[in-house]
């Protein structure tokens, strides 16, 4: 095809062929990129194992939803839409950019398959894509520079502001878009001026606008623009490629893999070390994460993939009450340490392996501050995990004896007595004594058996207030005609938090004792009113009978007609349901508790703004009740304020720990009289009509 | 620095409800759980920290039945290098002096620069440290809540005294110190740590090994003997206010007014 | 019966401690007709001797510049030289007594009983002593063989002060017999506890909190009550150990000694270490959800309630008045 301008592949400057640059730039660029990537991959190779090469169908679905369709992005509307624009544009333009590199060598290169009409369609798309990306870049830069959303801020203790890096990359992207469009537009104008065939340019696209603007420019100038823009694009393209692994834009490369390998199961905790069975844990030299290379390769990949968007920390309840924890910086600090310990230059510099993390990049209080509520993971658009890392870091601290005194006591009591208060085992079933006649609770075991085992767990067994939940649950089970019993003193703490606070061996002990007692009881089903127990039994224990939370049980029994509920008294009460983390986010039980409440005729229920998978943690359960965090206020106080804002005056929880925290928070917030908290089992029980 | 720490296995008051048994011969021991005496645990932590700073070794010794091996092991899991158990039927019923003389024999079998005990125990009398020091003719300080190394001849110790004040002393080595809680933050010992030292051999010394005459210790040698346990007569005690909360509050306010408790 | 009974007199700034007269009562409980002598050891102790001489048959003094600070290691050496072998020595069970007495009993080759709260008489050479264990949860009888003498630490406050001053003895200077007191432990200085924002020792009304407050955030509840009453908040040791309040707010042997008119013990079990800091016979109100808490034994008025529920009610009622 005849062209009015000389292509970069054929041009000479002072008898030097520019095609040399077309070779040199990609070769240098790709080599440099390969070198950087090799060093970036080193810590992945040295890291602990992680079994993620499995369940490919589920992983592909994750990639389609979360990576390709950007499913989580619109949870933050403006930023999400801008990101989708840039992401989609990049996908479209990746072909064009690759073609352009080769066009610099061979003028008439056409990407395989894009020769015919498909090519015309593609060109239409890529013209608009470049335009959309450029617009998105300006919007993004405006947000970064002018709007400055709170979640992008870097508190001084975590180092300098990250705005420059963000804006610099936006500038690079804009340069790519503009240079590509000018390259194309200059050729089109020259063709038109020479009366030759003009490639179709999508109307109102960036290239189209440039074409209009360049309409009267001389051929010499057009030639210069054409050539210069080509090499600006070429240089920027490879600079951009090499710049990506230097910071938060590494996610452009890693996000696909990170989402592919992301966790599939929820509610569970990673094993101490993949490939080591529970009964071989004693043989391990060291437990948990103490140095960088103790993280699994997926967790290192997580650090690389963090886009610094701050969504995790924006949803983190610990961060909200100013505990010294911000999940975003768990990633950013580790990433920076990797960059520091695995330097790119000088070439061949030894890696600084094995540096202790605690006291270096992480603080003990930081790692103990996490309630493992899972809000961060629910939000992350890149599938980054936090709970497993926190648990692994805690395992490391426990192994080194670095456990605050406030937690040592309950842990010792759990070891000796099977409950964190050190109460005597024989008093574990004392709460049943106050049950009315006709509602006796069997102690199952050697002598007696029952179809259903009610797993009570420690707080409901021993705490004066929470025992009421136990009694309400027993009455509900009784009303539904269930043949049920409890384990009594054979029951130990489920250990949900023992495990999540890093004391794996103690958890294994508790698990073994409970498993034996449960299997001995002969029960064919388990029901519990404590979501922490529910989670542990369901996700941490193995080979148990099926487990149900009381809210699921109630919803089921109401539907089947086994339980009849009377109408709510019309006394101005407006209820709101607070999703417990270990029922909602970790186990996906959102609807059953709501159905159970709504089954009470005439009850008025509203949802809080932060509900379901964005529920805001009450302050944490299990051992978190004993930990004394540095914080400016209580999570529970924020939560009861949210309930008030939603127009509710009764908070319904479905977890004894939530109830403790809510009742405390109501007192602290001075909202006694205007707000109350009640457990779902208590609420339902008080509306049961015996038939 | 070679450090010996004397530890004791006791029922933990935090995790037990201590009650007198039916015939008053003992406390109710069914359902009791035991652990290392809290003060002793601080002493071991302090010893480990000193060792980490200046080198040396930490040895833990306990007088008791074979079950006391459990606490020796626990303290070894914490970081003590050696453990010794002093156990013999003849030791049973020892008073403070008897225990101190057994520990003295153990001290003399080794060579220690510093001997630590807990300041007291929940079932004890805050006596063994001072007795041991006197038997060994070593300087002694009780209720120590701070230790600073000066050189290999002497150290500086702080004692917790009335009013929350701290009495600073210089003390020559070797010496005996009884350690008060709060001197440090003892590290956590997990199940894993204990299992790691589960197979370590802990030597058990009886009366013969220690060269102690069996009739000088134990019940036979004791000048002080516990006769029984009882709950004292609840004769006087407080006048309990009864009734509804409003009634109690009203009554209390009257009383407070009368006694000048309300301004 | 064994030999003479001695009482070790603790004093500060020339003023004898409350225990000086309590030990007279304690000695009489051992043997009603016993002759009881006082030991006054220190530097420039004449004023102290004169204070106690009317209550004791004899006052033995050791006056030495070297004892300007009561270094237990030095005093022990002096006492070994002057005390008769088979005597009974009563020492207050405080931080000095704990430092001095166990080792002294070894050097005297006599029996030792710590923290005696009462005596139940002497039969031959056997003295029956009452002690407490497990933080006061249980009480025991202990038989002590005093044939070769005994050193007995007596819990301060467990005997009423004997104000009879009926003995009227003489001061005997034993300074010359004290011998070489050089010890391997040398007193350097006393580091005063940090002074807080309030001085609880000067307050008439204290709202004192213990473990029952459960959580740092709940301290507000006590603050509110104290404000309504015009009182000040103090606490027991666990609250300071948890760093919820500063050390200067702690009542007890390892904290401050207070002499209020009214003392509200809220969620405090009432260990003797805590009660050791409570002097001047105040009107004590105990509020505790555990009806077996030892605090109810010493309180004037008791209320069985959870302080987290009760205190706000009380605050409201007081505020309304």
Are the beta carbons of A634 and C215 separated by less than 8 Å? Answer: no
Q: How confident is the model over A252-270, as pLDDT tens digits?
A: 999 999 999 999 999 999 9
For range A427-431, the mean pLDDT: 95
Is A263 contained in some domain? no
Q: What CATH code is carried by the domain that includes residue A572?
A: 3.40.50
List the single residue in A with minimal CA-CA distance to B196: A282
**Terminal Cα distance for chain A, rounded:** 89
Mutate to test the interface with A, among B73, B185, B188 (most CBs of A within 10 A): B188
Are the beta carbons of B127 and C187 separated by less than 8 Å? Answer: no
**pLDDT value of position B263:** 65
Are the beta carbons of B13 and C137 separated by less than 8 Å? Answer: yes
Chain A neighbors of C215, CB-CB under 8 A: 664
Are the beta carbons of A422 and B35 separated by less than 8 Å? Answer: no
Mutate to test the interface with C, among B160, B224, B239, B242 (most CBs of C within 10 A): B224
Nearest to B125 among C114, C257, C321 (CB): C114
Q: Is the pLDDT confidence value at A247 over 90?
A: yes
Superfamily of domain B2-221: HUPs (3.40.50.620)
Rounded to two decimals, the pTM is 0.90
Is C138 at the interface with chain B, CB within 8 A?
A: yes
List the single residue in B with minimal CA-CA distance to C148: B223
**pLDDT value of position C280:** 79
Nearest to C113 among B13, B224, B239 (CB): B224
Please tell me whether residues A192 and A318 are part of one structural domain: no
Are the beta carbons of C103 and B166 separated by less than 8 Å? Answer: no
Chain A neighbors of C220, CB-CB under 8 A: 668
List the single residue in C with minimal CA-CA distance to B10: C134
Mutate to test the interface with B, among A416, A492, A512 (most CBs of B within 10 A): A416
Domain termination residue (choose one: A559, A575, A606): A559
Is A360 contained in some domain? yes
For residue C305, the distance in angstroms to the closest alpha carbon of chain A comes to 13
Please tell me whether residues A574 and A549 are part of one structural domain: no
List CB contacts of A531: < 8 A, sequence separation 6 or more: A549, A580, A581, A582, A583, A587, A654, A655
CATH code, residues C5-177: 3.40.50.620
Top pLDDT among A451 and B162 is at A451
Please tell me whether residues A225 and A309 are part of one structural domain: no
Q: Decide: C212 and C274 in contact? Cβ < 8 Å.
A: no
Where do the structural domains in chain B lie, given as residue ranges?
2-221
Q: What CATH code is carried by the domain that includes residue A524?
A: 1.20.1050
Please tell me whether residues A100 and A197 are part of one structural domain: yes
**pLDDT value of position B142:** 97
One CATH from 3.40.50.1860, 3.40.50.1220, 3.40.640.10, 3.40.190.10 for C200-320: 3.40.50.1220
ipTM at complex level: 0.90
Chain B neighbors of A513, CB-CB under 8 A: none
Every domain of chain C with CATH number 3.40.50.1220 lies at 200-320
- Give residues 202 to 231 of C whose Cβ lies within 8 Å of B: 204-205, 229-231
Distance CA A530, CA A461 (A): 11
List the single residue in B with minimal CA-CA distance to A425: B31
Distance CA C257, CA A444 (A): 54
Q: Helix C72-82 to helix C95-108 angle, to the nearest 10 degrees?
A: 40
Please tell me whether residues A578 and A625 are part of one structural domain: yes
* Top mean-pLDDT range of A481-490, A621-630, C12-21: A481-490
For residue C47, the distance in angstroms to the closest alpha carbon of chain B comes to 22
Nearest to B192 among A399, A409, A416 (CB): A399
Cα angle: B121, vertex B122, B123; to 5 degrees: 90
Beta bridge partners of B35: B10
Is C244 at the interface with chain B, CB within 8 A?
A: no
Give DSSP secondary structure letters for A404-443: -HHHHHHHHHHHHHSSTT---GGGTTGGGGGSPTT---EE
Domain termination residue (choose one: A364, A399, A434): A399
Q: What is the mean pLDDT of each run of 10 residues along chain C (321 residues)?
A: 84 92 94 90 94 93 94 96 94 95 96 94 92 86 94 92 84 92 94 79 91 87 91 90 85 85 92 82 90 85 92 91 78
Q: How confident is the model over B57-102, as pLDDT tens digits?
A: 999 999 999 999 999 999 999 999 999 999 999 999 999 999 999 9
Is A488 contained in some domain? yes
**pLDDT value of position A691:** 60
Closest Cα to residue C10, out of C34, C35, C38?
C38
**pLDDT value of position C292:** 80
Are the beta carbons of C193 and B164 separated by less than 8 Å? Answer: yes
- Give residues 600 to 639 of A whose Cβ lies within 8 Å of C: 628, 634
Chain A neighbors of C216, CB-CB under 8 A: 628
Are the beta carbons of C216 and A634 separated by less than 8 Å? Answer: no
Q: Decide: C34 and C131 in contact? Cβ < 8 Å.
A: no
The two tokens of residue A682 are 């208590």
Nearest to A402 among B187, B192, B193 (CB): B187
Q: How confident is the model over B178-195, as pLDDT tens digits?
A: 999 989 999 999 999 998
Please tell me whether residues A184 and A58 are part of one structural domain: yes
Is A266 contained in some domain? no
Q: How confident is the model over A555-583, as pLDDT tens digits?
A: 999 999 999 999 988 789 999 999 999 99
Mutate to test the interface with B, among C118, C124, C138 (most CBs of B within 10 A): C138
Q: Phi/psi of residue A80, each to 5°? A: -60, -45
Q: How many contacts (CB atoms, under 8 Å) link A and B?
A: 63
Q: Is the pLDDT confidence value at A78 over 90?
A: yes
Distance CA A587, CA A267 (A): 6
For residue A503, the distance in angstroms to the closest alpha carbon of chain C comes to 23
Chain B neighbors of A282, CB-CB under 8 A: 192, 195
Domain termination residue (choose one: A350, A375, A399): A399
Is A267 contained in some domain? no
Q: How confident is the model over A7-57, as pLDDT tens digits?
A: 888 889 888 899 999 999 999 999 999 999 999 999 999 999 999 999 999
Q: State whether residue A565 is helix, strand or coil.
A: strand
The two tokens of residue A453 are 């085992």
**pLDDT value of position A646:** 97
Listed in sequence order, the DSSP H helices in A244-322 are: 251-260, 297-305, 311-315, 317-320
Is A492 contained in some domain? yes
Nearest to C314 among B156, B182, B252 (CB): B252
Distance CA A98, CA A94 (A): 6
> If you average pLDDT over every residue of chain A, what do you get?
94
For residue C170, the distance in angstroms to the closest alpha carbon of chain B comes to 31
- The distance between the two most distant Cα atoms of chain C, rounded to a whole number of Å, is 68
Nearest to C112 among B175, B224, B227 (CB): B224
Nearest to A412 among B35, B185, B187 (CB): B35
Are the beta carbons of C103 and B130 separated by less than 8 Å? Answer: yes
List the single residue in A with minimal CA-CA distance to B33: A416
**pLDDT value of position A351:** 86
Are the beta carbons of B191 and A402 separated by less than 8 Å? Answer: no
Domain count, chain A: 4
Q: Is the pLDDT confidence value at A546 over 70?
A: yes
Is B31 at the interface with chain A, CB within 8 A?
A: yes
List CB contacts of A61: < 8 A, sequence separation 6 or more: none
Is A278 contained in some domain? no
Q: Decide: A341 and A351 in contact? Cβ < 8 Å.
A: yes
Chain B neighbors of A510, CB-CB under 8 A: none
Domain membership of residue A614 as a residue range: 564-689
Please tell me whether residues A571 and A674 are part of one structural domain: yes
Q: How confident is the model over B213-263, as pLDDT tens digits?
A: 988 899 988 999 999 998 776 556 778 888 888 899 999 998 898 888 776
Give DSSP secondary structure letters for A389-411: HHHHHHHHHHHTT---HHHHHHH
Pairing state between β C15-16 and C11-12: antiparallel
Are the beta carbons of B171 and C185 separated by less than 8 Å? Answer: yes
């Amino acid at each position: 095809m005849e062209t009015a301008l000389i292509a970069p592949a054929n041009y000479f400057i002072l008898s030097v062929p520019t095609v040399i640059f077309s070779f040199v730039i990609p070769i240098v660029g790709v080599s440099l990129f390969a070198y950087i990537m090799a060093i970036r991959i080193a810590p992945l190779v040295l890291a602990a194992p992680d079994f993620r090469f499995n369940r490919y169908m589920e992983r592909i679905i994750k990639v389609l939803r979360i990576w390709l369709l950007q499913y989580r992005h619109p949870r933050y509307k403006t930023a999400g839409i801008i990101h989708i624009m840039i992401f989609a544009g990049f996908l479209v333009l990746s072909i064009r950019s690759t073609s352009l590199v080769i066009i610099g060598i061979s003028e008439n290169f056409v990407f395989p398959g894009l020769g015919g009409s498909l090519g015309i369609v593609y060109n239409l798309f890529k013209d608009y894509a470049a335009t959309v990306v450029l617009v998105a870049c300006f919007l993004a830069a405006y947000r970064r520079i002018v709007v400055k959303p709170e979640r992008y801020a870097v508190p001084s203790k975590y180092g300098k502001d990250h705005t420059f890096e963000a804006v610099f990359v936006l500038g690079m992207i804009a340069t790519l878009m503009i240079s590509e469009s000018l390259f194309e537009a200059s050729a089109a104008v020259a063709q038109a001026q020479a009366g030759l065939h003009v490639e179709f340019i999508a109307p109102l696209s960036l290239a189209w606008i440039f074409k209009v603007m360049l309409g009267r420019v001389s051929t010499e100038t057009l030639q210069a623009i054409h050539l210069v823009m080509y090499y600006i694009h070429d240089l920027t393209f490879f600079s951009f490629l090499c710049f990506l692994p230097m910071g938060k834009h590494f996610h452009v490369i890693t996000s696909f893999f990170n989402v592919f390998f992301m966790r599939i199961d929820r509610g569970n905790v990673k094993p101490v070390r993949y490939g080591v069975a529970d009964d071989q844990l004693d043989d391990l030299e060291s437990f948990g994460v103490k140095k960088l290379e103790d993280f699994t390769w997926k967790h290192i990949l997580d650090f690389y993939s963090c886009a610094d968007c701050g969504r995790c920390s924006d949803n983190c309840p610990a961060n909200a009450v100013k505990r010294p924890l911000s999940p975003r910086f768990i990633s950013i600090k580790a990433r920076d340490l990797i960059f520091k310990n695995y330097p790119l230059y000088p070439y061949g510099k030894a890696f600084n392996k094995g540096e202790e993390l605690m006291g270096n990049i992480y603080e003990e209080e930081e790692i103990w501050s996490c309630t493992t509520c899972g809000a961060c993971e629910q939000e992350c658009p890149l599938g980054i995990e936090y709970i497993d890392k926190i648990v692994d870091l805690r395992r490391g601290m426990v192994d080194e004896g670095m456990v605050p005194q406030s937690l040592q006591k309950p842990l010792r009591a759990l070891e000796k007595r099977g409950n964190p208060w050190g109460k005597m085992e024989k008093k574990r079933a004392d709460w049943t004594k106050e049950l009315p006649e006709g509602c006796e609770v069997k102690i199952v075991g050697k002598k007696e058996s029952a179809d259903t085992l009610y797993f009570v767990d420690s707080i409901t067994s021993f705490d004066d207030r929470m025992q009421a939940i136990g009694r309400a649950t027993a009455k509900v089970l009784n009303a539904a005609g269930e043949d049920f019993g409890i384990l009594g003193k054979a029951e130990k703490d489920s250990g949900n938090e023992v495990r999540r606070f890093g004391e794996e061996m103690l958890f294994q002990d508790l698990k073994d004792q409970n498993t034996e007692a449960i299997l001995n009881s002969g029960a064919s089903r388990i029901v519990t009113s404590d979501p922490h127990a529910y989670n542990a039994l369901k996700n941490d224990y193995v080979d148990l009978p099926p487990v149900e939370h009381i809210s699921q049980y109630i919803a089921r029994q109401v539907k089947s007609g086994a339980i009849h509920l009377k109408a709510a008294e019309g006394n101005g009460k407006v209820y709101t349901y607070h999703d417990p983390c270990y029922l909602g986010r970790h186990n996906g039980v959102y609807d059953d508790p709501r159905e159970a409440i709504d089954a009470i005729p005439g009850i008025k229920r509203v949802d809080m703004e932060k509900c379901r998978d964005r529920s805001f943690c009450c302050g944490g359960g299990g051992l978190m009740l004993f930990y004394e965090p540095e914080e400016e206020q209580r999570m529970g106080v924020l939560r009861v304020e949210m309930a008030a804002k939603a127009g509710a005056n009764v908070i319904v929880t479905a977890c004894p720990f939530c109830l403790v925290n809510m009742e405390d928070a109501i007192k602290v917030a001075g909202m006694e009289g205007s707000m109350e908290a009640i457990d779902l089992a208590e609420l339902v029980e008080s509306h049961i009509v015996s038939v | 620095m070679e450090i010996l720490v004397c530890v004791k296995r006791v029922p933990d008051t935090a995790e037990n409800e201590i009650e007198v048994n039916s015939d008053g011969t003992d406390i109710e021991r069914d359902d009791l759980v035991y652990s290392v005496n809290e003060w002793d645990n601080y002493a071991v932590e302090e010893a480990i920290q000193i060792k980490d700073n200046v080198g040396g070794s930490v040895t833990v010794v306990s007088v008791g039945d074979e079950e006391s091996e459990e606490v020796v092991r626990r303290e070894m899991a914490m970081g003590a290098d050696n453990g010794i158990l002093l156990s013999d039927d003849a030791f049973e019923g020892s008073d403070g002096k008897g225990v101190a003389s057994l520990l003295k024999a153990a001290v003399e079998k080794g060579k220690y620069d510093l001997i630590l005990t807990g300041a007291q125990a929940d079932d004890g009398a805050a006596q063994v440290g001072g007795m041991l020091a006197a038997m060994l003719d070593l300087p002694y300080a009780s209720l120590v809540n701070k230790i600073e190394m000066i050189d290999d001849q002497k150290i500086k110790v702080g004692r917790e005294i009335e009013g929350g004040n701290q009495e600073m002393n210089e003390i020559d080595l070797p010496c005996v110190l009884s350690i008060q809680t709060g001197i440090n933050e003892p590290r956590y010992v997990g199940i894993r740590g204990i299992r790691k030292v589960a197979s370590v051999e802990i030597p058990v010394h009886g009366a013969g090994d220690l060269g102690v005459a069996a009739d000088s210790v134990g019940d036979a040698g004791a000048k002080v003997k516990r006769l029984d346990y009882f709950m004292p007569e609840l004769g006087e005690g407080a006048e309990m206010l009864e009734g509804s909360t409003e009634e109690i509050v009203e009554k209390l306010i009257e009383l407070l007014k009368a006694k000048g408790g309300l301004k | 019966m064994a030999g003479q009974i001695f009482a070790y007199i603790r004093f500060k700034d020339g003023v004898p401690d409350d225990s000086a007269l309590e030990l007279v009562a304690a000695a009489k409980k051992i043997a009603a007709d016993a002759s009881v002598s006082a030991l006054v050891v220190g530097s420039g102790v004449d004023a102290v001797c004169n204070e106690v001489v009317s209550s004791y048959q004899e006052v033995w003094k050791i006056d030495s510049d070297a004892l300007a600070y009561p270094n237990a290691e030095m005093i022990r050496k002096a006492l070994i030289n002057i005390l008769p072998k088979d005597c009974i020595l009563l020492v207050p069970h405080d931080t000095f007594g704990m430092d001095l007495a166990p080792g002294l009993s070894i050097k005297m080759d006599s029996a030792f009983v710590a923290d005696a709260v009462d005596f139940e008489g002497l039969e031959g050479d056997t003295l029956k002593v009452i002690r407490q264990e497990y933080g006061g949860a249980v009480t025991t009888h202990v038989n002590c063989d005093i044939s070769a003498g005994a050193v007995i630490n007596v819990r301060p406050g467990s005997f009423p002060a004997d104000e009879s001053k009926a003995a009227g003895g003489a001061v005997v200077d034993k300074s010359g017999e004290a011998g070489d007191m050089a010890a391997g432990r040398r007193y350097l200085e006393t580091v005063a506890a940090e002074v807080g924002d309030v001085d609880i020792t000067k307050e008439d009304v204290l709202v004192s909190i213990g473990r029952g407050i459960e959580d740092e955030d709940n301290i507000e509840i006590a603050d509110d009550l104290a404000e309504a009453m015009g009182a000040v908040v103090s606490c027991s040791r666990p609250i300071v150990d948890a760093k919820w309040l500063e050390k200067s707010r702690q009542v007890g042997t390892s904290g401050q000694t207070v002499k209020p008119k009214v003392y509200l013990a809220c969620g405090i079990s009432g260990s003797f270490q805590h009660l050791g800091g409570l002097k001047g016979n105040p009107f004590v109100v105990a509020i505790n959800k555990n009806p077996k808490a030892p605090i109810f034994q010493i309180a004037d008025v008791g209320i069985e309630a959870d302080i987290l529920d009760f205190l706000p009610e009380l605050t409201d009622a007081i505020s309304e008045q």
